Chain A
Amino acid sequence: MLSAIEQGLIFAILALGVFLTYRILDLPDLTVDGSFTTGGGTAAILLVNGCDPWLATLAGMGAGAVAGLITGFLHTFLRIDGLLASILTMIGLYSINLRIMQGPMVSVNMRNGEPINTLFSGFRLAQPGFCPSDNSCLFSWQVIGLLALAALVCKLAIDWFLATNFGLAVQATGDNQTMALADGVSVRVTKNVTLMVSNGLVGLSGALYAQFNGAADSQMGVGMILVGLASVIVGNAILGTRFMFLATLGVIVGSVLYRLVIFFAMDWHLAEAGDMKLISAVLVVVALVVSKAEWIRKSFKVLSPWWNKPDPPEPLTSQALHDPAKTEG
């Protein structure tokens, strides 16, 4: 179960990236499936070649950002529909990822009998042979604490970013493009930057996952967009979207919950490893339907005092015009 929480926290970073495109930019960005692998593959191949783990992780993040920029270029310069542009990038990345990894899989566990240094190396249990497999030795509260910190830093960075002048322009781009243009927002710039930041986070998540998992493979990104969407939708349904602080926190909570659901489904033998994708898809459908159903929204209201309370629009008063005292003031 600790492993499920750890995975949830790693995927939370990916989900925060999905939050930026899906919720903020209102653009379902499927690049994620490709850029997750790109980030993981880039980090893995660098680690195998003896690169510093921090640098390799950062490179994974950068590779993800470049992938986002490709989608942005297709969408904003070549004017391809956003969803289609992201699908094109995702498909193209599949080949690029194979080139990056020089094969379908890169193991970052051992090389020539020596363990490869990764971000998680310090947390391996000392006795060899104690663990059935290498990564099961990683399960520790320390790792959870550090991953939670990483997810929280990403979350706070997004909160800050969206509250800046540029971030508000990004939000306007997704919320009302007509208004954004009329207010002098270059939607081309806001979209490209947001896609880069988003896929940078996804690449970071992929780089962490490759090290956590002990390997990167060309299939690791398949279905990741659903993992991200499920986390965003579930998380936002619980904590609401009224306040950015809670919306992004919800994404992390959603991601961990999602992993726990899958963990228990497997643990209780309700599902097999092969059923994961179906569970993801069904969960997204359920979350989407549920988050729209009125009675559930109401019951969530009880659970969450921060639920977006729509204060009823007050009738427009023309007080100021007919009350001379007020107009003069």
Chain B
Amino acid sequence: MLTLTDVSKTFFANTVNERRALRGVNLSLEDGDFVTIIGSNGAGKSTLLNIVAGSLPCDQGSIVVDGRDVTKLADFRRASLIARVFQDPQAGTAPHLTIEQNMAIALTRGSRRGLRRGVTKARRQRFREELAVLGLGLESRMRTRVGMLSGGQRQALSLLMASFTRPRILLLDEHTAALDPQRAELVTELTRKVVADNGLTALMVTHNMSQALSLGNRLLMMHEGEIIFELDSRAKEHTTVSDLMDRFASAKGQMADRALLA
């Protein structure tokens, strides 16, 4: 479903600030895979997501989604295949538009937008049903401006908007990081639900290790622009947060050794 081949990205190339964010990353996601990615700051997780989404161009390598090479496709053109939820709850929705208007925009993601009415009766009915799944009572407030919602509500709405059109790939960029623990828990559960209900292929970046272990069927750890190890669903079951911490520490140690030797 998603294949990254030898993807590299360097920021500020040929300056003293040069930073190699991705070093020849190879990754392949099967249909229905739900992959969580962990790693320390600057490991290249968000860069990876931005490159898949098309917000950043990659220096080399190729990105294939569902058999289609999208490496050179602009971000808004990839939107028919890829949907994303941002870390910032403000980023994924238009605050001055109503809930139903936002959903209409999400519904037409990737199709030509003509001069037909955006929010029709039939669509409104569908939105109501989709919103009811969230269990937040938003289905009775469809004409409320999104800017009036709380961060958690907005993020839940963003998640729904990204997923209900069943994109080929769903990208989740630390989408619970800006929420308080209780709401983060709620959005995490909703994520599990919408990904399972829609049978989505998803890539999720997180700093929360227990979340990374509990969600999805594969786990990747990144460090300094490389994927340093991977767990499949069976291995994940037997792994604890402290195991991950150990792997982290040893990865860092190895890297430090390598840096010393170099």
Expressed in whole angstroms, the minimum distance between the Cβ of B39 and any Cβ of chain A is 23
Instruction: List 22 A–B pairs whose Cβ atoms lie within 8 Å, in order of A's numbering.
Output: A165-B104, A165-B108, A168-B104, A168-B118, A171-B101, A175-B96, A176-B95, A178-B86, A179-B105, A181-B55, A182-B84, A182-B86, A184-B108, A185-B76, A185-B113, A311-B144, A313-B148, A313-B149, A314-B153, A316-B183, A318-B183, A321-B135
Residues of chain B within 8 A (CB-CB) of A329 are 132
Which A residues are closer than 8 A to B by beta carbons?
A: 161, 163-169, 171-172, 175-176, 178-187, 241, 310-321, 323, 326-327, 329
Separation of A176 and B104 alpha carbons in the complex (Å): 15
| Any A CB within 8 A of the CB of B150 | yes
| Any A CB within 8 A of the CB of B116 | yes
A-B contact count (CB 8 A): 135
Name the residue on B nearest A308 (C-beta): B145
Query: Is A183 in contact with B91, judged by CB distance below 8 angstroms?
Result: no
Binding site of B, secondary structure by majority: helix, strand, loop or mixed? Answer: loop
Separation of A176 and B102 alpha carbons in the complex (Å): 11
| Any A CB within 8 A of the CB of B14 | no
Query: Is A183 in contact with B106, judged by CB distance below 8 angstroms?
Result: yes
Separation of A169 and B102 alpha carbons in the complex (Å): 9
Residues of chain B within 8 A (CB-CB) of A183 are 79, 105-106, 108-109, 161
Name the residue on A nearest B134 (C-beta): A320
Number of interface residues of B (CB under 8 A): 53
Q: Assuming the A-B contacts A164-B116, A165-B115, are A171 and B53 also in contact, with contact meaning beta carbons closer than 8 angstroms in the complex?
A: no
Q: Assuming the A-B contacts A169-B105, A172-B105, A314-B137, are A179 and B94 also in contact, with contact meaning beta carbons closer than 8 angstroms in the complex?
A: yes
Query: Is B93 in contact with A176, judged by CB distance below 8 angstroms?
Result: yes
Query: Is A184 in contact with B79, judged by CB distance below 8 angstroms?
Result: yes
Expressed in whole angstroms, the minimum distance between the Cβ of B102 and any Cβ of chain A is 8
Separation of A170 and B86 alpha carbons in the complex (Å): 21
Cross-chain contact of B91 among A171, A176, A317 (Cβ < 8 A): A176
Q: Which 6 residue pairs are nearest across A and B when measured between Cβ atoms?
A: A320-B135, A184-B79, A175-B94, A165-B113, A316-B152, A168-B118
Query: Is B186 in contact with A321, judged by CB distance below 8 angstroms?
Result: yes
Cross-chain contact of A165 among B116, B136, B137 (Cβ < 8 A): B116
Separation of A319 and B149 alpha carbons in the complex (Å): 17
Query: Is A163 in contact with B150, judged by CB distance below 8 angstroms?
Result: no
Residues of chain A within 8 A (CB-CB) of B91 are 176, 178-179
Residues of chain B within 8 A (CB-CB) of A313 are 148-150, 153
Expressed in whole angstroms, the minimum distance between the Cβ of A178 and any Cβ of chain B is 5
Separation of A316 and B79 alpha carbons in the complex (Å): 29
Excluding A165-B117, A313-B150, 4 further A-B contacts by CB distance (< 8 Å) are A169-B105, A176-B95, A182-B92, A317-B135
Query: Is A321 in contact with B79, judged by CB distance below 8 angstroms?
Result: no
Name the residue on B nearest A170 (C-beta): B113
| Any A CB within 8 A of the CB of B185 | yes
Query: Is B114 in contact with A165, judged by CB distance below 8 angstroms?
Result: yes
Query: Is B94 in contact with A176, judged by CB distance below 8 angstroms?
Result: yes
| Any A CB within 8 A of the CB of B75 | yes
Separation of A310 and B105 alpha carbons in the complex (Å): 23
Query: Is B113 in contact with A175, judged by CB distance below 8 angstroms?
Result: no
Name the residue on A nearest B156 (C-beta): A316
Separation of A100 and B34 alpha carbons in the complex (Å): 62
Query: Is B189 in contact with A321, judged by CB distance below 8 angstroms?
Result: yes
Query: Is B134 in contact with A163, judged by CB distance below 8 angstroms?
Result: no
Query: Is A171 in contact with B97, judged by CB distance below 8 angstroms?
Result: yes
Residues of chain A within 8 A (CB-CB) of B182 are 316, 318
Separation of A165 and B149 alpha carbons in the complex (Å): 23
Residues of chain B within 8 A (CB-CB) of A164 are 113-118
| Any A CB within 8 A of the CB of B119 | yes
Query: Is B186 in contact with A316, judged by CB distance below 8 angstroms?
Result: yes
Separation of A180 and B189 alpha carbons in the complex (Å): 26
Name the residue on B nearest A172 (C-beta): B94
| Any A CB within 8 A of the CB of B80 | yes
Expressed in whole angstroms, the minimum distance between the Cβ of A253 and any Cβ of chain B is 21
Separation of A183 and B111 alpha carbons in the complex (Å): 10
Name the residue on A nearest B155 (C-beta): A316
Expressed in whole angstroms, the minimum distance between the Cβ of B109 and any Cβ of chain A is 5
Expressed in whole angstroms, the minimum distance between the Cβ of B80 and any Cβ of chain A is 6
Query: Is A166 in contact with B115, judged by CB distance below 8 angstroms?
Result: yes
Name the residue on A nearest B138 (C-beta): A314
| Any A CB within 8 A of the CB of B252 | no
Query: Is B101 in contact with A168, judged by CB distance below 8 angstroms?
Result: yes
Residues of chain B within 8 A (CB-CB) of A180 are 76, 94, 105
| Any A CB within 8 A of the CB of B68 | no
Residues of chain B within 8 A (CB-CB) of A176 are 90-91, 93-95
Query: Is B105 in contact with A317, judged by CB distance below 8 angstroms?
Result: no
Expressed in whole angstroms, the minimum distance between the Cβ of B7 and any Cβ of chain A is 20
Expressed in whole angstroms, the minimum distance between the Cβ of A79 and any Cβ of chain B is 14
Expressed in whole angstroms, the minimum distance between the Cβ of A309 and any Cβ of chain B is 10
Expressed in whole angstroms, the minimum distance between the Cβ of B180 and any Cβ of chain A is 9
Expressed in whole angstroms, the minimum distance between the Cβ of A68 and any Cβ of chain B is 19
Residues of chain B within 8 A (CB-CB) of A161 are 115
Expressed in whole angstroms, the minimum distance between the Cβ of B68 and any Cβ of chain A is 15
Cross-chain contact of A184 among B55, B76, B93 (Cβ < 8 A): B76
Expressed in whole angstroms, the minimum distance between the Cβ of B192 and any Cβ of chain A is 10
Query: Is B150 in contact with A315, judged by CB distance below 8 angstroms?
Result: yes
